[in-house]
Structure 1
């Protein structure tokens, strides 16, 4: 699912892309989700992090190692 646009951010016309660094288990569950590059707005960053923590990623070979991924989450007000 997409990250929800915080109502306050939408009203303030805040836009941007959050680049997240995500560590996942071989089963595809996130273990660490952190902001690598901020959108410039803490509400957008927080919405992205909270959403991606709930995601299920594609599983990887089960050798017990976690996988690092970079995930961009964009927030744009489209007319």
Structure 2
């Protein structure tokens, strides 16, 4: 677990991770894409097609973005720096893309941009699979939302 980090590096890691966390989520398609999201992780036509199928509205005025239950701390609790990756000095950011179900569960979880190390990618993938969210809402009803989260692994040297 992250608790095995020395306090200073734990907080540096958590601070950096919190600063880089981005949710590319729209309420069934609204919202823009940040330019720092790798091209391989940008939303596909999933959200756009869902929006067209569900409504002809230009903008969603009655939408709520998904919310990670327990905040980012819940992800840190599920994330550990793999021993083998630490031993070889592996660092990087795994970008994980998924569909958030109407029940608030990540489905169709995939690594859309590798950290450059399969051990780190696997750990990030596992951590995201275990997360629980309050689902995105549109007109008071839960909706599926495509999301992308960066999971950063950084060793304090």
Give the TM-score normalised by the residue count of structure 1. Answer: 0.89
Of residues 54, 77, 91, the one that matches 1:15 is: 91
Higher strand proportion: 1
Cα distance in 1 for partners of 2:108, 2:101 equals 10
The Cα shift of 1:27 comes to 2.5
Of residues 117, 139, 151, the one that matches 1:41 is: 117
SS at match of 2:126: helix
Higher helix proportion: 2
* Structure showing greater Rg: 2
SS at match of 1:44: helix
Alpha carbon RMSD of aligned pairs, Å?
1.2
The gaps in structure 1 that reach 5 residues or longer are none
Of residues 41, 53, 58, the one that matches 2:134 is: 58
Q: Which string of whole-angstrom CA distances, capped at 9 and with x for unpartnered residues, describes residues 11-35 of structure 1?
A: 1000000011111112311111101
Correspondence 1:68 to 2:116: no
The Cα shift of 1:60 comes to 1.3
Cα distance in 1 for partners of 2:134, 2:83 equals 31
The Cα shift of 1:59 comes to 1.7
